[in-house]
Amino acid sequence: MQNFHGSHTKLNEINYFTAIEKGELTAVKNQLDLGVNINLTDANKRSGILIATDNHHFEMVKLFLNLGADVNIASDEIDNTPIMIASVKGYVDIVRLLIEQSNPDMTILNGYGGTALIPACEKGHVEVVRLLLEQTNVSVNHVNIPGWTALLEAIVLSDGGINQQEIVKLLLEYGANKNIADKNNVLPIEHARENGFTELVHILS
């Protein structure tokens, strides 16, 4: 009896993760009703809500939040929590949902030792950056393993365009320290100058 129960549980878990990947809401609900733990993780320590976020399945994320899923289980991957993935990928709708309906831990760092804010700045996701700064307690001056703040990444790894200009303005407005240099003691304004980002030089002056 024990064995049958064990294999049955395993099958439910496999079906559960398959249903999440396929975005099948009803099937996921059914598996949870059958007793699958909502915070169960796969081989890479990815929880259901994390996979749903990664796949940009808004309704699935909503379902998990409504049923009380833990949003702060970190996977083994570089972008390791739902808020991290949604911020990196620029999923504004999911970032907003996570902030409004749960309590994402903004101190959990990614594989580069950075907060969710840093890659969002690098990738030019203006609205995500705005939400994180306005509605979470994310550290604006956190320095990651490569030695970069959100402000440095918004300049060094960008094209200096309109989105980046908007992001740099937002960062400064929310207390970004423009005197934190990188590991080679190069300041944000010097990077902007070197890259020929005249608008950013102007904003940082």
| 125: nearest Cα among 165, 84, 90 | 90
Q: Residue with structure tokens 């950075």?
A: 114
151-179: string of b/e by CB count within 10 Å (b at 16+)? bbbbbbbbebeebbbbbbebbbebebebe
Q: What is the pLDDT of residues 47-91, one digit of tens each?
A: 999 999 999 999 999 999 999 999 999 999 999 999 999 999 999
Closest CA to 20 of 78, 87, 67: 67
What pLDDT is stored for residue 32 in this prediction?
A: 93
Summary mean pLDDT of the chain: 94
CB 111 within 8 A of CB 77: yes
Q: Which two structure tokens, joined as six digits, stand for 176?
A: 């970004």
- The residue among 144, 145, 78 whose CA lies nearest residue 117 is 144
* pLDDT score recorded for residue 7: 65
Contact 109, 100 (CB under 8 A): no
Calculate mean pLDDT across residues 87-108: 97
Question: Is the pLDDT reported for residue 6 higher than 60?
Answer: no
Please check the confidence at residue 8 and state whether its pLDDT lies above 90: no
Distance CA 146, CA 151 (A): 13
Predicted local confidence at residue 121, as pLDDT: 97
Residue 74 contacts residue 49 (beta carbons within 8 Å): no
- pLDDT category of residue 14 using cuts at 50, 70 and 90: confident
- Give the span between the Cα atoms of 125 and 168, in whole angstroms: 12
Mean pLDDT of 149-176: 96
Q: Is the pLDDT of residue 134 over 50?
A: yes
108-130 pLDDT tens trace:
999 999 999 999 999 999 999 99
- For the chain, list the domains and their CATH numbers: 1-105 (1.25.40.20), 106-205 (1.25.40.20)
Q: What percent of the chain has pLDDT over 70?
A: 96
Q: Radius of gyration of the chain from Cα atoms?
A: 20
Phi, psi of 15 (to 5 degrees): -60, -40
Is this prediction's pTM over 0.85? Answer: yes
